[in-house]
Amino acid sequence: MKTLTGLFAGMLALGVSATAVLADGAKPAPLPDAPKFDAQGQVKFVGVGDILEYKALAEYHEPDFVAALEKAGKLPPLKDRLPKEPMVYKTGNMKDGIGVYGDVMRHVIGGRPEGWNYTAGQSQGWGGIDIGLSECLTRTGPLFQVKAAELQPLPNLAKSWEWSADGHQLTMHLIEGAKWSDGEPFSADDAMYYWEKNVQDTNVHPLNGANPGTFGEGTTLEKVDANTIKWTFKAAFPTQVLYAMAYGTFCPGPAHILAPQHPSNSKNTYDQYKNAFPATYMAMPTMGAWAVVDYKPDNIVVLRRNPYYWKVDEKGNQLPYLNELHYRLSTWADRDVQTIAGTGDFSNLEQAENFVESLKKSADPAAPARLEFGQRTIGYALEFNYSANGWGETDDRSVAVHNLNRNLDFRKAVTSMLDRQRLGESLVKGPFTAIYPGGLYPGSAFFDKASTTYYPFNAGAAKAELAAAGLKDTDGDGILNFPKDMNGGKNVEITILANADYQSDKSLTEGVVAMGEKVGLRVIPKLLSGKDHDAARDTGKYDWHVIRLESEAVTAVQQTEHLAPIGPSTTYFHKAGADGKVDVMDFEQKLVDIVNKFIVAKDPKERIALMKQYQKISTDNVYWAGLTVYPGALIINKRFANVAPGAPIFMYNWAEDNIIRERVFVPKDKQSKNELFPDTLPNKPGSAPGEGLVK
């Protein structure tokens, strides 16, 4: 923070009367309390051991049609298809108990599958496809129901782990004898391939962005034996890193299929490697409960149960209960409409524009789906591209704007021009949206109001801060100009990236553009759809970004690396430039240090204190400008059982992970006849869509 005298000197130099700016400058105000909004579902909190364990059972069972195929010699006996000690879901944690086989869950999604090479960065269309196909070392989605005192990632492919006495090594024991959906063994080799050829090889960019910084600079991983891997960390007891071993960032692919295509083992370029498994390549081996068997572009992706799935219920029934999954390729808004109408089965109601209609329709007792609001965990921020050393666009205008972004007066102007109350109401009226200044969400367990600096809406203060940042409309056309030594003193023009697939993202962007205009800033929307948006986000091709934040703002313990550039590419808005370095600002370095300490802090009191420091420094400095935050609602067809009450649509992960789909079932008397490939099992890897299913 500049000292007062420095401030005066600076202002006099700018020829602006000190009292004018001081009087008008942006001043913090207490954050108004959020409108009261009670989540509908009551979560029953449990311990990790109440949810699952790993053990061999006396007997195992499978659907009748699978037993018949086995009898016909079409696949090995069940006991050879299961690991020595499968994961066993405990009945006590299953709301409706042991399930029955049959039926389908019909998802509707707004994305489109590019291909199945998730670990090389191919999008599969989101909406639960990649969540279901990617089983990871640990699992965090279901943690919304775990008691705070026992909170730690659930075991998954890694069934147990222990730290060395000095805390620098973590030995992980992987599930033993599990197989991919094509019958090939899963082993430590798959984890090592992912680590060496997809994470450490910086020419490969796994979807959801795992990179060497994700697991702590200098971290190494080695294979101990076929079922054991060992991590070595620079810091002692970086327990937080277990969250980064969950969905998104440590979900190994099938090395036996991927390795031969990797540039180090073939003539493939990295691009050819990434695209070696196009969307028409069926049954890419997965550790997930269902494998892809059919794909019709812009129409549907169909998955069938994986006969090698390595999880069972306490009666020894091999999971999943549901035989089939659909992903109808449509739009995100249509997902809400179809689920409410009953032609779809599942939706995360996350676009506030659809709240009233969805509430009205689902209030009808005869409505096919139930709707349950959770806490305020869906939120948006305006992120500033801080790179002035070559990450993203490097033309004069872009660099000039990024340098403006690095100026606190400018960021105070931006945060003061935002009327967050109006932004929220532009999405939906009523008690849903709350003002979100920035930093962690008000609903986060680590949120501390006293540490949160909120600059309220004040156009006059915004204009004063813009003047303090050296911007003046030198040619009188109503648009502020750069100082003459920046981008030739031209009008300031700022691109704002947003995801065109969501009305909410577009509505908020329109609001920001209009509020910018009122203070003389020309903000130009850059609305991109799906993977084009994600690519622009990931390569910094924007000045500002209206982004729906994920777990870093909700839990702080997941995607923690998004909170500060603790590595060359860990945040969405400030990555390493051409020189491989992140041009970190002074206050930002403090955030980096706090996040690095938080990742290794074991004492809960220290963790809370560190997050208060993070909140203070990040909101004092408007690290990003919060926009609005509101609750999401899970809409799910009433025929499904074993959906935990209060399952949030987003917390550690999305509801597609949180509700543990492999445990969900439909009671016999409610089963629909919607299976498209009844009584079949997945085709061979590389089959053509819909061809060669086992029957």
320 prior amide bond cis, ω within 30: yes
The nearest distance, CB 439 to ligand BQZ, in angstroms, is 20
Nearer to ligand BQZ by C-beta: 126 or 436? 126
Report the residue number, 249 or 481, with the smaller CB distance to Ca ion: 481
What is the smallest separation between the CB atom of 288 and Ca ion, expressed in angstroms?
Answer: 55
- Residue 477's binding partner, choosing from ligand BQZ, Ca ion, none, with beta-carbon cut-off 5 to 8 A by kind? Ca ion
Q: How many CB atoms lie within 10 A of CB 5?
A: 8
Q: How far is the CB of 376 from ligand BQZ (least distance, A)?
A: 15
Which of 113, 128 has the CB closer to ligand BQZ?
Answer: 128
What's the min distance (Å) between Cβ of 110 and ligand BQZ?
7
| 353 vs 473, beta carbon nearer Ca ion | 473
The sheet with strand 493-499 has its strands ordered as 434-435, 624-630, 378-384, 544-548, 493-499, 522-528
Decide which of Ca ion, ligand BQZ, none touches 128; Cβ closer than 5 to 8 Å per partner kind. ligand BQZ
Nearer to ligand BQZ, 357 or 396 (CB): 357
Q: How far is the CB of 676 from ligand BQZ (least distance, A)?
A: 22
Q: At 473, give phi and psi (nearest 5°).
A: -85, 85
Helix (H) or strand (E) holding 637: strand 633-637
Nearer to Ca ion, 336 or 465 (CB): 465
Letter for the amino acid at 137? L
Do residues 634 and 348 touch, judged by C-beta distance below 8 A? yes
Which of Ca ion, ligand BQZ, none binds 286 (CB below 5-8 Å, type-dependent)?
none
Q: Least distance (Å) from ligand BQZ to the CB of residue 354?
A: 12
Pick from Ca ion, ligand BQZ, none: which does 332 bind, CB < 5 to 8 A by kind? ligand BQZ
Q: Which residues bind Ca ion (CB under 5 A)?
A: 473, 475, 477, 479, 481, 491
Closer to ligand BQZ by Cβ: residue 563 or 600: 563
Task: Specify the residue, 331 or 403, whose C-beta has the smaller distance to ligand BQZ.
Answer: 331
Cα angle: 175, vertex 176, 182; to 5 degrees = 90
Given Ca ion, ligand BQZ, none, residue 552, with its beta carbon under 5 to 8 Å by kind, binds none
Q: Report the distance separating Cα 253 and Cα 191, nearest Å.
A: 8
CB of residue 493 vs Ca ion: minimum separation in angstroms? Answer: 10
Evaluate whether 300 touches 321 at the Cβ level (below 8 Å): no
The DSSP letter of residue 436 is -
Residue 372's binding partner among Ca ion, ligand BQZ, none (Cβ under 5 to 8 angstroms by kind) is: none
Nearer to ligand BQZ, 132 or 392 (CB): 132
CB closest to ligand BQZ, residue no: 126
Q: How far is the CB of 475 from Ca ion (least distance, A)?
A: 5
CB under 8 Å to 413, separation ≥6 — which residues?
26, 461, 462, 463, 464, 465, 466, 468, 469, 519
73 vs 476, beta carbon nearer Ca ion: 476
Count other C-beta atoms under 10 Å from residue 563's C-beta.
Answer: 24
Q: Which does 114 bind (CB under 5 to 8 A by kind): ligand BQZ, Ca ion, none?
A: none
Which residue in 113, 116, 135, 137 sits closest to 126, CA to CA? 113
Q: Which residues pair with 525 in a beta bridge?
A: 496
Whole-angstrom distance, CA of residue 625 vs CA of residue 438: 5
Sign of the C-alpha dihedral, residues 35, 368, 131, 228? positive
Q: Radius of gyration of the chain from Cα atoms?
A: 26
Which of Ca ion, ligand BQZ, none does 654 bind, CB closer than 5 to 8 A by kind? ligand BQZ
Q: One-letter amino acid identity for 513?
A: V
Classified as helix, coil or strand, 509 is helix
- Which of the listed partners (ligand BQZ, Ca ion, none) does 481 bind, with a CB threshold of 5 to 8 Å by partner kind? Ca ion
What six digits make up the tokens of 548? 């729906």
With CB under 5 to 8 Å by kind, the binding choice for 127 among ligand BQZ, Ca ion, none is ligand BQZ
Q: What CA dihedral angle connects 401, 404, 405 and 408, to 10 degrees? A: -170
The DSSP code for 67 is: H
33 binds, among ligand BQZ, Ca ion, none (CB under 5 to 8 A by kind): none
For residue 629, the minimal CB distance to ligand BQZ (Å) is 16
DSSP string, 309-334: --EEETT-BBSPS--EEEEEES-HHH
At closest approach, how far in Å is the CB of 2 from ligand BQZ? 37
Least Å distance, CB 550 to ligand BQZ, is: 6
Q: Give me the residues that bind ligand BQZ (CB under 6 A), please.
A: 126-128, 131, 332, 348, 350, 499, 534, 654, 656
For the record, the structure tokens of 529 come out as: 């759809």
Cβ distance to Ca ion smaller for residue 184 or 473: 473
